[in-house]
Amino acid sequence: MAEDKLTMEQHFEEIEKIIEKLEDKDISMEESFACYKDGIQHLATCNEMMDAVEKKVMELNQDGNLVEFKED
């Protein structure tokens, strides 16, 4: 499964697996760096996905019309 096709939940599952690998006392330094890099990539993708969702969030204004949500 390509990383860009994963859901946010699947990315978080991959991050959990990476954490389990990193907690293993027998992991090599090279493998731990590779795992760390993979984890950071999954987190970055999740952040991009959340940003995309936030841009789509709409709210009702006082007149009952839908408008783009803006943080104060």
pTM of the entire structure? 0.71
Domain boundaries, the chain: 8-68
pLDDT of the chain along its 72 residues, tens only? 455 689 999 999 999 999 999 999 999 999 999 999 999 999 999 999 998 887 777 666 677 777 776 666
Q: Which long-range contacts (CB under 8 A, 24 or more apart) does 36-44 make?
A: 38/14, 39/15, 41/3, 42/3, 42/11, 42/12, 42/14, 42/15, 42/18, 43/11, 43/15
Q: Write down the pLDDT at residue 1.
A: 45
Q: Write down the pLDDT at residue 67.
A: 73
Q: Write down the pLDDT at residue 45.
A: 96
Q: Write down the pLDDT at residue 51.
A: 87
Contact 42, 13 (CB under 8 A): no
